[in-house]
A = this chain, B = another copy of it.
Amino acid sequence: MLNLLILNAAVLQLSTDGTRADVLYAHDILIEGRRISALQPTGQADPSQFDQVVRADGKLVMPGLINTHAHVPMVIFRGLAEDVSIDRWFNEFIWPLESNLQPDDVYWGMLLGAAEMLRGGVTTVADHYFHMDVGAKAITESGMRGVLGWAMFGSQGQVALDTTERFIREHQNTGDGRITTVVAPHAPYTCDDDFLRGAARLADKLGVASHIHAAEMREQTDLSLQKRGLTPIQVLEQTGLLREGTIIAHACGVTPSDIELMAEAKVGVAHAPKTYLKLGMDVTPIPALRQAGVAVGLASDGAVSNNTLDLWEALRLCAMLQKDRARNPEVLPIAEALLIATRDSARVIGMAGQLGDVKPGYLADLIVVDLSGLHHQPLHSIPASLVYNTMASDVQTVIINGEIVMRDRQLRHIDAAQIVHQVNRNMARLAQRVPGQRIQTYQP
């Protein structure tokens, strides 16, 4: 049974080597169940044979964006920690604020962030946060795809590992296959080696991947070397977490030999450039990572550092900051940036060959982007406009797992007005910072 036809689209096609971004005009995309069954010139398919038809009428269709590292429910703290040093950001803002968290806050925050992401064309999120059982419920309801990990600090001990085990057993491969799960220790600076080893063993036992912050900036690497003669990446290697499928968030502070280790281990890197600029963290060395064969994907991080969950902004910052660092405009050209945003982001979350391309056999996670806005005109180059001009508000329709989740900018599964109402009710409570109350201390 064919259930969905996208009619008369301009379809983005990228070469695997990152050198070409082309557009197939006047093509139809046929979707059968959760997957793309055909990509063919318009005119061959009979719309009456399909349950649903999305008329693209020349609009651009591409893979949905993949957010490879986020703390989505932190949208509830948006705007509460600005213009402060990283130490103060953690110790005086984030971790005190998070002592206000109740499971319901995570539920409504996850829904709010999912709604924002869907309206910006993000179809999958690798989320790393607390109370992930209700987080998974929210992602399931939203229609999004999630790679979800329940955040753990070493100070929580075995109870955190047990909670994660229960969470993974309950949620792995639920929601029509949209929900997968990972083991999510916070970072080498908040988890001791025994805890990291326990996390690695748990991932082994359950057959899932891991997701962790590491080498977020050079200072963390330097402090780790001073304290114990190992870089954070070496700590992950020694504790068993540096292995295929692990998502390493940020990695702005990795050394050349770390990069070799990461390439051998086949980990992926989640890159959230707006956060790095705002917190003065420097930038992930993307050309070196990519040259070594390490996949790099786009990420938003949480909205208390990144302010929005807009991956179009991350996409252009990703390309622009590497040009800036190299003082060379030829670095990270448009086709490569689009590859990072699609197939390479899929590799980072362990879904290479499943997501990130518009091709028969791939999961039908697709977005229809309207490039008729004045900020795209005249449209000399669609690939250039996707990287440098597209706004979240240009995304018109979103399909996930073969289902229409947003159509003509209307969300179909969740009620955004109700979500905003629920979150707003708790703003005053969420913004409180009680002196001395915090869930953790930053002291790398």
Binding site for B on A (CB under 8 A): 75-80, 82-86, 89, 112, 115-116, 119-120, 274, 276-283, 307-310, 313, 320-321, 323-324, 326-331, 333-334, 374-381, 384-385, 388-389, 391-393, 416, 420, 423-424, 427, 430-431
Contacts and interface: CB of A to CB of B under 8 A. Distances in A.
Contact of A83 (B83, B329, B392): B329
B79 A280 contact: no
A385 B416 CA distance: 19
Given A282-B327, A320-B277, A308 B377 contact: no
Contacts of A423: 377-378
Nearest to A217: B327
A84 B380 contact: no
A384 B280 contact: no
A401 to B, nearest CB: 22
A323 B280 contact: yes
Q: What 10 A-B pairs are tightest by C-beta distance, nearest first?
A: A79-B381, A307-B388, A277-B320, A79-B384, A83-B333, A79-B380, A393-B393, A116-B374, A280-B327, A308-B375
Given A328-B85, A391-B393, A424 B377 contact: yes
Contact of A84 (B79, B84, B330, B424): B330
Nearest to A306: B388
A220 to B, nearest CB: 13
Contacts of A385: 78-79, 307
For A120, A324, A331, A392, the residue with the greatest tally of chain B CB atoms inside 10 Å of its CB is: A324
Contact of A112 (B80, B283, B333, B374): B374
B310 A85 contact: no
Contacts of A82: 333-334, 381, 384, 388
B78 A277 contact: no
For A83, A331, A334, the residue with the greatest tally of chain B CB atoms inside 10 Å of its CB is: A83
Given A116-B375, A391-B392, 5 more contacts: A82-B334, A276-B324, A308-B389, A377-B423, A378-B423
Given A85-B328, A321-B277, A309 B381 contact: no
A392 B378 contact: no
A436 B93 CA distance: 59
Contacts of A420: 374, 377-378
Nearest to A326: B280
A43 to B, nearest CB: 25
A274 to B, nearest CB: 7
A51 B280 CA distance: 50
A373 to B, nearest CB: 8
Contacts of A120: 375
Nearest to A276: B324
Nearest to A380: B79
Contacts of A326: 280
Given A83-B330, A280-B329, A327-B282, A378 B320 contact: no
7 contacts: A79-B381, A83-B333, A277-B321, A280-B324, A308-B375, A308-B388, A378-B423
B374 A320 contact: no
A74 to B, nearest CB: 12
A324 to B, nearest CB: 5
A79 B379 contact: yes
A310 B375 contact: yes
A76 B380 CA distance: 9
A14 B232 CA distance: 43
A147 to B, nearest CB: 22
A319 B76 CA distance: 23
Given A115-B374, A328-B280, A78 B380 contact: yes
Contacts of A77: 380
A89 to B, nearest CB: 7
A369 to B, nearest CB: 14
